[in-house]
Every structure is written in C-alpha cells, then in structure tokens.
Structure 1
Amino acid sequence: MSDIVGRVSALQRYPVKSMLGEVRDRVRIGAMGVDGDRRYALIDEETGRVATAKHPRRWSTLLQCASTTGEDGSVTVTLPDRRSMPVTEAAEPLSELLGRTVHVADERAAGVVLERSDPLEVLAHGIDAEFDPVLLELGQGAPGGAFVDHSPVHLITAATLDAIGVGMDGALRYRPNVVIDVGSEPFVENGWVGAEIELGEATLRVTLATPRCAVPTLRHGATERLPDAVRYLLDHNRVEVPGFGKAPCAGVYAEVVVVGTVSTGDKVRVG
C-alpha cells in the first residue's frame, strides 16, 4: 500500500515555454502532462531550435514575459513593457524584443532540440559570456505535443525549496508543476525515482531526478539574479542522472500512469 507522504501545496503551469506562468488551485493531468502546460514555444527561424532560457545569453529575456490562459483556453502573452496580445499574434513583437526572428509553435515536432548552457560556465562567466551550448532533444520521456524538457510532469518538495533558501516564493525559479509539502526532509524526491505517486485522481511514475541548468539563477520577472539557486545544489545535492552524469538536482520528472484532476490540499501517496 502507498504511504501518505504529504499534501499538494501549489500547482503551476507555463503556457509558453520559458515565460512566467500561472498558479492554479486545480489542474487536470492528462497523458501529455498538465493541461495547458508548455502548450506553446518559440522557434528560432535561423536554427530551427526551441527558444529557452537554458541558453541565457540568447533567450533569458523570455523570463521577463508572462503567459496566461483565459477561460476560453486562449493564451495571452504580456511583454516587459506590459503590452499584451494573443500568443498567435506575438511572433513579431517577440522577435523585436529578442533581436532574433522567431515564430510560435503549438506542437512539438519529433526530434526538435534546444540549446542548454553549462550552469557552471554561467556562474563563472555570467550570462553574456560566449561558449558553445549543448544540444538536447526535448521530451525524450514524454508523448508528442507539449514542449516539456523530459517527462510530462515536474514535481518538487517545499522542503527542498526551503533547504536551497528560496522557499515557496522562489518556486517559480525551478518551474515545477506540483509543489509537495512533505515536512522538513529536503531532497526526499531523490528516493522516489521508479516509484508511483498518487495525488488527487492522478497517478504518476517518477522517471529521474531533475538536473538543473542556469535558469534558476536568472531574473524571473521582477526578481534579481540568484547564483545560490544552483550553487547550493552543486554543494549539497549532486545526483547521477542518465545522460547528464552527476548533476546538481532539485525535484523530479514523472510520467503519467493514470490521468485525473489534482487540487491544492490533496494527499500525496508514494509507493
């Protein structure tokens, strides 16, 4: 029998990849993840690659933009100057903002890649330093559709956020879908790999620990840069992750076993 380990303390989704997202009291988790999560992404016209703040020199400005979902399911993008527009009309103003021509995509193409900078290089030399990013294929642990990095759902515990020193207010730096209150033991998620997690009506299976890039260290909206958002993990939570080696990790990825609705306050069972 699964053991109750805690409760869902926050739910978030990010309608456009690498933009600020939205807090929800209730979400539906389908086969492709949280409904409406990473539904859109920007594609660099020159390279054909997905625009992501994992390559901060080129794309960190995306973290100054917000994306929200209306009651009719339509997505609105708000730029740093507070101009708002439907995501379907955002390509031109975003190209002007970013200094590169982009278009908006609503479905992840097979084999599409993103550019990921080494977080150690970013910490050592800053976000504007020139170095070659690593190319990563998106969604290797997810069915086609949403622009998720690996598996469909990303979870982290409140205790882990507290240990890092960011707390619940800093959860957006790690861009989770589900924050779980498990008490005071940080990084307990590391032991969930391979286990099934029941929360609300949904059941997930944890696939791997989440290797952290430079994104948590960057400005998100009005926040300032925070190098310790990854530096603490380098010192206290390096985990062996297939394809990444021994990487600084916080939180876990999970695939969907049973679809269903999840609400804040729901019990979380791991077994």
Structure 2
Amino acid sequence: MGTVTALYRYPVKSMLGEAVIAVAVTESGFSGDRGYAVLDETGAVGSAKHPRKWGPLLRCRSRLDDSGAVRVVLPDGTALPVEDPELDERLSKLLGRQVFLSAAVPEHNRLERAVPEYEGGVPDAVRESASVDAAGENITTGSVAPGTFFDFGQVHLVTTASLARMREVYPAGDFDARRFRPNLVVDTDAGPGFPEDAWPGSRLRVGEALFRVVVPTPRCVIPTLGHDELPPDPGIMRAVARDHRIPVFDLGRLSCLGVYLNVLEAGTVRVGDTLTLQKAA
C-alpha cells in the first residue's frame, strides 16, 4: 500500500533532528529518539510548543555520532556531547535562564503548550482552563507520556497524501514534512487526502517492525515555527484547522495531521521499505 520515503529521529526533544536511511525500532520506539530533554529547575520539559519560553531549542540540532553518542550542534555551529557541562551553560545562555540536559524524566514533570487562537488547536475544555504565564503566553499544562519524553505515541507517521492535500488547500504554505516532526514519512500511492484517518486500531507492518496505529495526531503551534531553513508560517496550522478537524478520543474535533503508532514488534526499518496495513478484527 506504500513505501517509506523518509525516516527521522530527534535525540533531544524539541531540537532539530536527523534524517537516517535505516533505524532500529525497539519496544520503546526509534532507537535514539527523544532520549534526552532540556529541563528547567521547575520541572518543565523543554518543548517548542511554548515558543516564547522554549522556541530557541529549534535553532539547535541533535544527532548521534558514529559511536552512538548524542551531540548537540548549537546555533553558532559548536558541537558538544550531551555529557559536557559546557552544554548546559550554553543552553542556559541561549534560553535566558538556568536549564540542563537530562535523560531522566522528572516524576512531577510539566509540559507547557501555547493555546492557539484558531478552533481545534486544543480541546474546548482545556482552552477554558488555560492561564497566562510569566512569559505572557496563554498556556495549558500537562505532562509527557509516563517514563518517556514523548508527548503521546512512541512513533509519529505522516503521509505524503496528507501533505499534498494541505498544499491544495493552502498553496502559499510550505508543507515540508519536517515541520510536523515525523519519525516516518510514507507514500501511500494515493492522491491527496488523509488515508491515515481510517487506520486507528489497525496494525501496520513497516519493514521488519510491526506497529499499532493508535490515534490521529493533534497538532500544536510547532509546524508554524521556523525549522532550520524553513521560515515561520502561521498560516500552516490555520489551514489544517480549516480543512481537517476530526474526533480524537473524547476530546472533540481537533486539528490533526498524521497518526501516532505504538510498537508491537521490534525490527529494522529502512527508506524504501514497503507498508502493509492489517485492518483491525
């Protein structure tokens, strides 16, 4: 039903990641994906979902070197291993407050999200509970998935068909897949549309790995921000909100693009691997 066209992993949460040709999929997701995060002394997990507070993280890039160790490339091009104390100092200067890199998820962590103005950016009930923080941003506060730095699912998939549909809806927008921070980009051999909407509950065989499709991916403000050479574009998510608001659990109709997957069987996935969808019984 399709093929893998790109693979990405993000060793440090909310930093730019790296494209890979092949990746080992473990029971916990892509090997090396979001193994670290930047934290502050309040227990907040660094996420560009709160751009005023954490947006500069998107100017940094995280990658695995040949030995499998994680290195961070700072905006000035300096590359430092995650264990280097200088990296915490440099990140603190970049963000304007004391922060540190960690592989340990705080028990009482906080994940802050800016509340977008458009409908479907957050559930209505959550919007009503939002508050203005010290950065002057209207935010909601939740937590990361237990024991991980993932927002929800272990793996995030985006289809080329959905991106093509959004280019039709908003031709001025640059719907580069990297804006949506996927792990898997797949070509479903279909015309523009949202084929993945029908997948939740199904199993998806990709290369050697087997996944369960869990839920459509509700989108935050991150796709509207600048990513590497991709400029900011606030119209990106407004277009998604106009064209593709769909039910997510009991949270109402949310702006979605892509799906979250959980791992059922580990294995290697490579660019060019085929996809096979096994419908839920």
Whether TM-score is above 0.5 comes out as yes
Q: Which runs of 5+ in 2 are unaligned?
A: 122-133
- When residues 119 and 244 of structure 1 are mapped into structure 2, their CA distance, relative to the original with a 3 A threshold, is farther
Question: 1:75 aligns to what?
Answer: 70
Q: Which runs of 5+ in 1 are unaligned?
A: none
TM-aligned CA deviation for residue 21 of structure 1: 0.3
Q: Distance in 2 between matches of 1:77 and 1:133?
A: 28
Question: 1:7 aligns to what?
Answer: 3
- 2:27 aligned with 1:21: no
Q: Kindly indicate whether the alpha-carbon contact (under 8 Å) linking 2:241 and 2:255 is maintained by their aligned counterparts in 1.
A: yes
TM-aligned CA deviation for residue 222 of structure 1: 2.5
Question: 1:60 aligns to what?
Answer: 55
Equivalent position SS for 2:239: helix
TM-aligned CA deviation for residue 227 of structure 1: 1.6
- 2:23 aligned with 1:33: no
Question: 2:149 aligns to what?
Answer: 147
- When residues 252 and 243 of structure 1 are mapped into structure 2, their CA distance, relative to the original with a 3 A threshold, is same
Question: 1:94 aligns to what?
Answer: 91
Q: Kindly indicate whether the alpha-carbon contact (under 8 Å) linking 1:65 and 1:78 is maintained by their aligned counterparts in 2.
A: yes
Q: Distance in 2 between matches of 1:129 and 1:92?
A: 21
- 2:230 aligned with 1:203: no
1:15-48 deviation line (CA, Å, top 9, x unaligned): 1000000001101111110000001101111x21
- 2:219 aligned with 1:212: yes
Over the residues paired in the alignment, what is the CA RMSD in angstroms?
Answer: 2.2
- 2:277 aligned with 1:258: no
- 2:249 aligned with 1:242: yes
Letter in 1 for 2:6: A
Equivalent position SS for 1:96: helix
Q: Distance in 1 between matches of 2:8 and 2:160?
A: 14
Match of 1:223 among 230, 253, 275: 230
Equivalent position SS for 1:27: strand
Equivalent position SS for 2:193: coil
TM-aligned CA deviation for residue 221 of structure 1: 1.7
- When residues 243 and 114 of structure 1 are mapped into structure 2, their CA distance, relative to the original with a 3 A threshold, is farther
- 2:65 aligned with 1:106: no
Match of 1:136 among 135, 142, 145: 142
- When residues 243 and 41 of structure 1 are mapped into structure 2, their CA distance, relative to the original with a 3 A threshold, is farther
- Structure 1 runs (4+) deviating above 4 angstroms are 166-169
- When residues 168 and 11 of structure 1 are mapped into structure 2, their CA distance, relative to the original with a 3 A threshold, is farther
1:157-193 deviation line (CA, Å, top 9, x unaligned): 0111222239997111100000010122421111111
* % identical aligned pairs: 41
Q: Distance in 1 between matches of 2:106 and 2:135?
A: 30
TM-aligned CA deviation for residue 109 of structure 1: 3.6
TM-aligned CA deviation for residue 139 of structure 1: 1.4
TM-score by length of 2: 0.86
Q: Distance in 2 between matches of 1:158 and 1:191?
A: 15
Q: Distance in 2 between matches of 1:227 and 1:168?
A: 11
1:223-243 deviation line (CA, Å, top 9, x unaligned): 211122211110111011136
Equivalent position SS for 1:133: strand
Letter in 1 for 2:13: K
Q: Distance in 2 between matches of 1:193 and 1:33?
A: 18
Question: 1:160 aligns to what?
Answer: 162
